[in-house]
Structure 1
Amino acid sequence: MTALEAGLRGDVVWPVWNAAWALVCVATLLWRPRHPLAMLVVAYAAQTVAGVVPALAGEPYSVLNVTAVVLLLAYSLGRWASGRGVVVGSCYLLVVHLAREPLYDSSGSSMALGVGALMLPVALGALMRFWARSQVRAREEIRAREREQLARDLHDTVAHHVSGILLHARAAKVRARTDPDAAAEAIDGVERAAARTLDDMRAMVAVLRHDEETGIGSRTPTHGVADIPRLARDQDPGPRVVVNTSGDLDRLPAPVESALFRAAQEAVTNAGRHAQDPTVVSVDLTREGPTVRLRVHDDGRPATTRTRRASPSYGLVGMSERLSLLGGEVRAGPDPGGGWSVVATIPLATAETEARS
């Protein structure tokens, strides 16, 4: 493109000279994300030399249009450079611009327009940087809250099991005085409860728990797959919810049960809030070998903008983060057969390995 412009434009003086410096400008684009300030300095200097030297020799001002890539480099300055780099680069642009323009007999208005043209890409790059950082912070907040909620659920589940162990132990102590055989049965119950508790303890996510609301965790067990059928409803308000389960869903790891329930709860809630005129929401939970699969489908009409907004704790982003901690994944989108589907899968072997690591 540089050679083509240099050869076809009749108003360009010293075509080879201009083409060489234009190639320098274009080449700097290769390194602009990693070295935005240095590449801006090189490219703007190349464009300046390309125009100033012929002007000092008495030739009319002319540079190739391709050298306008310096505006991309100005954007890169605001997007990727450090705060100090943005200040230094902006000052460099202004100083060089104001120093070279009088050599071209530029008017005051054209000089002011040039300042705006150079600073606007820098401002746009800075705005994009702030927007990207805000998105990262928002996602990190959701991730942190999901990890905290997962730790809270696991803590409460283990506390529930420990309470059961304590009751079994006290019963064994009382029965041992009168009936040794009954005491042995009670001790077997203690052993089973302790084994289950140990499994759930190993599955705990190593996050610090902060309960900002009460400071004390509930001693009741968290929701699990046994609670998913309670999401079913036949009456208004909202669409009818049908729940179907199949496969061996007993004795799943506590983190998996909690994640599946919250995923089903969030998907059903979103269907009621965001689907257009849905009549039925079907919740299908199945276990096929080492994999548990949850599918929530509604028959609502497709919308121009169909969104599943992420709430602070249990939105789609949070759901995906919670399941990813267990080695699972979430897919959501329009269903080929109509309506909207949310599909979550968790490989149980992976879930146990990820939670214990």
Structure 2
Amino acid sequence: MLRNDLRTLWTEPRPPDAPARVWRDWTLLAVSLGGVVLEATLRENVVWRPVAVVFAVWLCLLSLWRRTRPLAMVTLAFGSVILLQLASLVAASREPVGLDTGAVVLVLVYALPRWGSGREIVLGGAVILTAFALCAVTGQIAATEQVGGFVFLLLPGLIGAAVRFRVTGRERQLEQVRSREREQLARELHDTVAHHVSAIVIRAQAGRVLAGADPSAAVEALEGVEEEGARTLEEMRAMVTALRDRGAGAELAPLAGVADLERLVCNPGGRLRVDLGLAGELDTLPPAVDAAVYRIVQESVTNAMRHAVDATEVAVRVTAERHTVRVSVRDNGHRTGRGRAGYGLAGLRERAALLGGKLQAGPGAEQGWHVEAELPRGRTESGAHPRPRR
């Protein structure tokens, strides 16, 4: 068990999309360099002042690459600490060499487990422990102070590991939501295509019966249509059965769409009134887009019912244009700044992206929470029959 855990840690990759530098890095650099200047100017008992100043500036500069090169920065920083400690030992210096502002090295300790790979964390941790052990052995420091110093050095690393665990956990949950949304979309596409393929098979069978003693070519063509349609339906069922949870049936079900929105918003027990507005040609939407519109409205209205503060109404607008369908859901509650959108909206973003559209959600400029989506209408034939209203 322990060996497997160590192997997992050793092979753990770096977190993706580590930012090279942000404004906080330059602020940290400016503050730390300012601290070096002040301490070097005002402090009197500085051992090896020029060396201490250069060493502190060196540590401040290394913090700029702590995310993209965490192991290299830790090695350079604590390797310098080891060399400086050895030089101090050879020179028999009674006082430690360095400035208090050298504590900026703690940001490197934080960055190592936060942004490093498993291998970098192990190697960098070994360098840090080596430097600490050397300082503890060569310095005349009481055991209690050594324990306190070790905890002080270890704490940023624990915080970095905790932040990484929390962020990684959320990313995994988001990925699970995206996967479930892809599966749901695949089921809906399967049900729609399977319905049409079933119709093709039935028509092909009818055509073969009617052909009778007619030209053999027509009969062969109808047989080919029937065979190909049956094979497509069988393969489609097998593919989606593998995507679904075990035990879930593969029976075909009608997809909820725009035609079901009126029934969705009729909720006498809800605490909010839902104002539904439909505009444009919404009867000939592709089934996937039709189902996506319903899901967006459903999730957004549900979120408003649960989280809108002091809201009395939710305005739902679905507008079909020539090439796109726009969905807008807004409540009139207070701006809560709810921060990150939930996993439900993350799934809807994934669905919209799969269909070639986009979805945005956040606090409104003046009040409430707004969800805006734009989906491509898709190609519809001029002779397409509108979907029946359920």
- TM-score relative to the length of structure 2: 0.73
Q: Does 1:64 align with 2:99?
A: yes
Residues in 1 aligned to 2:67 and 2:45: alpha-carbon distance in whole angstroms: 34
Instruction: Indicate conservation of the 8 Å contact 2:82/2:134, yes or no.
Output: no
Q: Could you say what secondary structure the match of 2:306 adopts?
A: helix
Deviations 1:94-136 (A, max 9, x none): 3322322343321111111111111112222222222222122
Residues in 1 aligned to 2:136 and 2:148: alpha-carbon distance in whole angstroms: 11
- TM-score relative to the length of structure 1: 0.79
- Give the structure 2 partner of residue 294 of structure 1: 327
Instruction: Indicate conservation of the 8 Å contact 1:301/1:338, yes or no.
Output: yes
Aligned counterpart in structure 1 of residue 292 of structure 2, from 259, 264, 270: 259
Amino acid at match of 1:321: E
Structure 1 residues 207 and 77, CA gap change in structure 2 (3 angstroms): farther
Q: Does 1:326 align with 2:360?
A: no
- For residues 1-357 of structure 1, what are the structure 2 equivalents within 5 Å? 1-50=35-84, 53-54=87-88, 56-170=91-205, 209-212=242-245, 214-233=247-266, 235-303=268-336, 305=338, 309-310=342-343, 315-348=344-377
Instruction: Indicate conservation of the 8 Å contact 1:151/1:209, yes or no.
Output: no
Amino acid at match of 1:13: V
Deviation, structure 1 residue 168:
4.0
Paired residues, number: 325
Q: Could you say what secondary structure the match of 1:212 adopts?
A: coil
Deviation, structure 1 residue 302:
4.5
Deviation, structure 1 residue 76:
1.6
Name whichever of 82-91 and 136-145 sits farther off: 82-91
- Give the structure 2 partner of residue 184 of structure 1: none
Residues in 1 aligned to 2:135 and 2:69: alpha-carbon distance in whole angstroms: 25
Unaligned runs of 5+ in 1: 178-186, 351-357
Deviation, structure 1 residue 271:
1.8
Structure 1 residues 29 and 165, CA gap change in structure 2 (3 angstroms): same
Name whichever of 11-20 and 294-303 sits farther off: 294-303
Deviation, structure 1 residue 53:
3.2
Residues in 2 aligned to 1:277 and 1:9: alpha-carbon distance in whole angstroms: 57
Between the aligned residues of both structures, percent identity stands at 39
Amino acid at match of 2:105: V
Residues in 1 aligned to 2:85 and 2:43: alpha-carbon distance in whole angstroms: 15
Deviations 1:264-288 (A, max 9, x none): 1111222222223543322210023
Residues in 2 aligned to 1:237 and 1:17: alpha-carbon distance in whole angstroms: 71
Unaligned runs of 5+ in 2: 1-34, 213-221, 380-390
Deviation, structure 1 residue 7:
3.2
Residues in 1 aligned to 2:282 and 2:271: alpha-carbon distance in whole angstroms: 28
- Give the structure 2 partner of residue 182 of structure 1: none
